[in-house]
Amino acid sequence: MQMPSLGLQNLKVSTKLFLGSVIMIAVSAGIMGIGQYGMSRVNQEMRSMYEDRLIPVKELTKLKADLMESRAILVAMIYEPDLAKKKKMQEQLQAIAIQIDQTLARYLKTSKQDPLQNEQLRAIQKIWEAFRRTRDDEIIPAVFQGNIETAANLALGVQAGRFKQFTEDANALVERVQEKAEDGKQAAERMVSSLRKIAVALSIIGILLSAMFSLIVAKNITDPLERIVLLADDLGKGRLGTRLTIDSKDEVGRMAGALNLALEQMGRNIEEQKKLETIVMQSEKMSAIGQLASGVAHEINNPLGIILGFAQNIAKRVQPGDPLEMPVKSIEREAIRCKNLVQELLTFSRVGKTEKESLDLKETVESALTLIQAQSSVKNVTLVRELSEVSRITVNRTQIQQVIVNLCNNAIDAMPQGGRLTVCLQKSNQDGTAGAVIEIRDTGSGIPKELHKKIFDPFFTTKEIGKGTGLGLSLVYEIVQNHLGRISLESESGKGSVFRIFLPLLSNG
C-alpha cells in the first residue's frame, strides 16, 4: 500500500522532521486543552445545579419564616392593648407581606421550566393570598374594633389551618427541588464520565495521528534512500538503464535528479565510445581489405591482361557462325568483367591517395547522372533531378561521380519492375559545419533494418551470385570518409531506400 505524501516531497529533510515534532506537540496541547475545557464546563454545570438547588430551598425556608413571623405578630397584635403598638405591628405585617409577594413572584418566574414545581408554588401562593385576605379583611379590622374573641378565633382557627397547609406544601416543594438537584447531580456525573471517555478517545486518536504522520515523514525520507541504494547496486552490476522516480524537491530529490543526469551522461558516453570503436574497427577492416585488394589485384592483373588480349585477338579472327565464336566471346566477356573487378579493387586500395580540386558540385552531379541516364531508361526507371546551387567544394571529381553512379546503379537494380529515382542536391549545415547534401532516393524493395549495419562491409551484397561484387557500397563509404563526410541510410523492406551523403565545403584530406 502506498503511503500518501501530503505534499511533503517538496520540503527539506530538516523541515520534515521539525514539522513532525511541531504537529506532535500541537496534538498533545490540543488534547490537554480539550480536557481542561471539558472539566471547566463540568465544574460550571455542577456549580450552577448546586446554586439552582440551594436558592429554592433558601427561598422556601424564608417564606416559612416570614409567614411564621407574620402569624406571631398577628397573634401579639390581637392581645396588644396599646393602639400605637398595634399600628406599628400592622406596618410590620405589611412589610413582611411585601417580602413574601416578591419572593413568590421571583420564584414563580424561575420555576416555569418545571411545570410540577410551578404548580406546587402556585398552590402555596393561593394559600398565602387566602391567609392575607383573612388577616387584612377580617382579623385586623376586628382587632381595631375591639372584637378580640372573633380575631383570636380566626387567627387560631382558620389561619392556623392555612399555616399548616402552607408548611406542608412548602416542605413538599423542598423535596421536589431536592429531587431535581439530585437528578442534576447524576446528569453531571454522566457528563463527567462521557467527557472522560471523549478525552481518552481523543488521546488515542492524537497518538495514532502523530504515529501516522511520523510514519509518513519517515517513509518520505527512507523510501527515496532505499531507491538510491538499489540504483547503486544496479550501477555496480553494470545496469545503466535504471532511473530514479522521486518527485520531491528536497535534498534527496535533488540528489536523485543529479544521479539520473549522471547515468544519462554515462550512457551517452558509453554509446559514443561504442560508436567510436565501431568506426575504428570499420576503418581497420577497410584498411586491411584495401591492402588485400591491392595485392590480389596486382597479382591477377597481368595474367588477366594476357588472357583478355589473346581472347580479343582470336575473336577478331573467328568468322560469324563458327563453333568457336560463342566460347571465345564468353571468354572475352568474362575477362572484361574480371578486369573491371580488378580495377575496382585497385581504386578501393588507392582512395586515400587521390588529389582533390575546387569544383562546381552541381555540374559534377549532372555529369554523373548522364552516365546512368541510358540505363535508367532501359530499366523503365524515371530519373528525377532536384539540384540546387551550392558553393564550390573541394573534392575528387572522379570519386564523387563514382559514388553517385554506384548508388544510382544499386537503386536501379532494386527496382526491376521500374520506379522512380530521385537525386537531390542542396545546401546544409550539420553541427555548425557548412556543406552540401546529396540525397539518392528510390522506390524499390528496400533494405531490411537488420542489414543496415553490414551494408557497408566489403564483399557484403544482397544481390544474386554473379550480379554483384560486394565492393560498391564499401568503396562509396571509403570515398565519403576520405572527404571527411558522412553517409546514412533510411530504408525498410518494401518502402524504398534513401542514401544521404554530407560533404563539408572544406574537405581537404
- Which range among 217-221, 264-268, 339-343 has the greatest average pLDDT? 264-268
Average pLDDT of the residues in 280-293:
60
Average pLDDT of the residues in 282-310:
69
User: Which three three-digit cell numbers place residue 79?
Assistant: 392581645
Query: Which CATH topology does 355-504 take?
Result: Heat Shock Protein 90 (3.30.565)
Higher-confidence position of 472 and 469: 472
Minimum mean pLDDT among 148-157, 451-460, 477-486: which range?
Answer: 451-460
Other CB atoms within a 10 A radius of the CB of residue 95 amount to 12
Minimum mean pLDDT among 46-60, 63-77, 116-130: which range?
Answer: 46-60
pLDDT at site 501: 92
Average pLDDT of the residues in 79-91:
87
Q: How does residue 498 score in pLDDT terms, banded at 50, 70 and 90?
A: very high
- Which range among 47-51, 126-130, 196-200, 362-366 has the greatest average pLDDT? 362-366
| Closest by CA position to 202, among listed 320, 30, 438 | 30
Helix (H, G, I), strand (E, B) or coil at 384: strand
- What is the residue type of 274? K
Higher-confidence position of 267 and 375: 375
Alpha-carbon distance 334 to 19, whole Å? 90
Alpha-carbon distance 402 to 405, whole Å? 5
- What is the residue type of 61? T
Whether pLDDT at 53 is above 60: no
Alpha-carbon distance 416 to 167, whole Å? 134
Query: Which CATH topology does 265-349 take?
Result: Helix Hairpins (1.10.287)
Give yes or no for a contact between 441 and 424, defined as CB atoms under 8 angstroms apart.
yes
Q: If residue 490 lies in a helix (H) or strand (E), which one and from where to where?
A: strand 486-491
| Closest by CA position to 498, among listed 432, 429, 422 | 422
Average pLDDT of the residues in 182-203:
71
Q: How does residue 442 score in pLDDT terms, banded at 50, 70 and 90?
A: very high
Higher-confidence position of 320 and 16: 320
Q: If residue 357 lies in a helix (H) or strand (E), which one and from where to where?
A: strand 357-359
228 exposed, middle or buried (CB, 10 Å; 0-12, 13-18, 19+)?
A: middle
109 exposed, middle or buried (CB, 10 Å; 0-12, 13-18, 19+)?
A: exposed
pLDDT at site 453: 75
Alpha-carbon distance 231 to 215, whole Å? 24
Give yes or no for a contact between 267 and 245, defined as CB atoms under 8 angstroms apart.
no
Give yes or no for a contact between 16 and 252, defined as CB atoms under 8 angstroms apart.
no
pLDDT at site 502: 93
Q: For residue 350, how many C-alpha atoms fall within 13 Å in the half-sphere facing its CB?
A: 15
pLDDT at site 352: 45
pLDDT at site 420: 92
pLDDT at site 432: 82
Domain boundary assignment for the chain: 28-220, 265-349, 355-504
pTM, entire model: 0.37
CA triple 438-442-448, angle to 5 deg: 105
Whether pLDDT at 72 is above 80: yes
CATH code 1.20.120 for 28-220: yes
Whether pLDDT at 508 is above 60: no
Helix (H, G, I), strand (E, B) or coil at 458: coil
Q: If residue 147 lies in a helix (H) or strand (E), which one and from where to where?
A: none
Transcribe 421-432 into DSSP letters. EEEEEEEEEETT
Give yes or no for a contact between 379 and 442, defined as CB atoms under 8 angstroms apart.
no
pLDDT at site 383: 92
| Closest by CA position to 44, among listed 188, 194, 186 | 188
Same fold, 28-220 and 355-504: no
pLDDT at site 28: 65
For residue 31, give Cα distances in angstroms to 4, 24, 41. Answer: 25, 11, 15
Dihedrals phi, psi of 444, to nearest 5 degrees: -85, -155
pLDDT at site 386: 93
Q: What is the pLDDT of the chain when averaged over all its residues? A: 76
**DSSP-assigned beta bridge partners for residue 423:** 385, 440
Minimum mean pLDDT among 47-51, 297-301, 404-408: which range?
Answer: 47-51
- Which residues are CB-contacts of 444 (< 8 A; sequence separation ≥ 6)? 411, 414, 415, 419, 496, 497
Average pLDDT of the residues in 119-132:
82
Average pLDDT of the residues in 467-490:
81
Q: How does residue 499 score in pLDDT terms, banded at 50, 70 and 90?
A: very high
